[in-house]
Amino acid sequence: MLRLVLATRNQGKIEEIRALLKGEEIRGGVEIHSLKDYPHVPEIVEDGTTFSENARKKALTVAQLTGQIAVADDSGLEVEALGGAPGVYSARFAGEGAPDSANIKKLLELLRDLPPEKRGARFVCVMALATPDGEVSLVEGECHGVIAMEEQGKAGFGYDPVFIAPGYGETFAELGSEVKNKISHRACALSKLCRLLESLAPLF
Ligand code: ITT
């Protein structure tokens, strides 16, 4: 059985990746752990300027510190009217350690008065797969949408209450995980990652 450590302590990501992997056929099965099972692994400083740099660093560090194959997810929201911000700074848009509610508040204030056609955005997710001997592979997924005028819905995490999904007219937080996991940036990246895992399986 393939054993993977998710290089994150973000509960929203862990739940989504677990649910997504359940729907995938991986030969021999997969056992999923996360940094919650490895409390000795310190916080990894995300000092990259791209999702790829941060994903690579998180996956490599965790693979080396745990001796296991690691999967990192670096993701964020790029808003057209803000020139792609908050981007890699999505988790700390309103300051280091800021809660999701503060990040959303800042975003809505910056976009106040902009009509729906000027509120285009996309979620991006780069996933890195790293082995303890330092091999890294990267995959990417994206999902285009529109930023709502106010928070709507309770499901999910992060910016889900203000991200109106393409073709649905409701936010990810209203639609819930079943719909989100069919169309999200993370679902797209993870399906590519699973194909990569299949092709690498003989090596593990
Ligand atoms: P780890 O680095 O430990 O994985 P993190 O929360 O710091 O956790 P990131 O640096 O990748 O993760 O920041 C991602 C942020 O982007 C996340 O905190 C959310 O604010 C936002 N985000 C990413 N994917 C999202 C999604 O599916 N729904 C809503 N917000 C999302």
pLDDT tens sequence across 119-148? 999 999 999 999 999 999 999 999 999 999
Burial degree of 110 (CB within 10 A; 0-12, 13-18, 19+): middle
Q: What is the residue with the minimal CA distance to atom 31 of ligand 1?
A: 158
Give the whole-number percent of the chain exceeding pLDDT 70.
98
- Read off the pLDDT of residues 17-75 as tens digits, 9 standing for 90 and up: 999 999 887 778 889 999 999 999 999 999 999 999 999 999 999 999 999 999 999 99
Question: Which CATH number goes with the domain that contains 51?
Answer: 3.90.950.10
The number of the ligand 1 atom at minimal distance from the alpha carbon of 10 is 8
Cα(75) to ligand 1 centroid in Å equals 5
Q: How far apart are CA 90 and CA 55, in angstroms?
A: 14
CB distance 73 to ligand 1 below 6 Å: yes
Q: Would residue 74 show up in a list of annotated catalytic residues for this protein?
A: yes
Strand order in the sheet with 30-34: 30-34, 2-6, 69-79, 120-130, 136-147, 163-164
Structural domain boundaries enclosing 143: 2-203
CB 26 within 8 A of CB 2: yes
With a cut of 80, say whether residue 149 has pLDDT above it. yes
**Which residue's CA is the closest to the ligand 1 atom numbered 1?**
8
pTM of the complete model beyond 0.75: yes
Tally of domains in the chain: 1
pLDDT of amino acid 193: 96
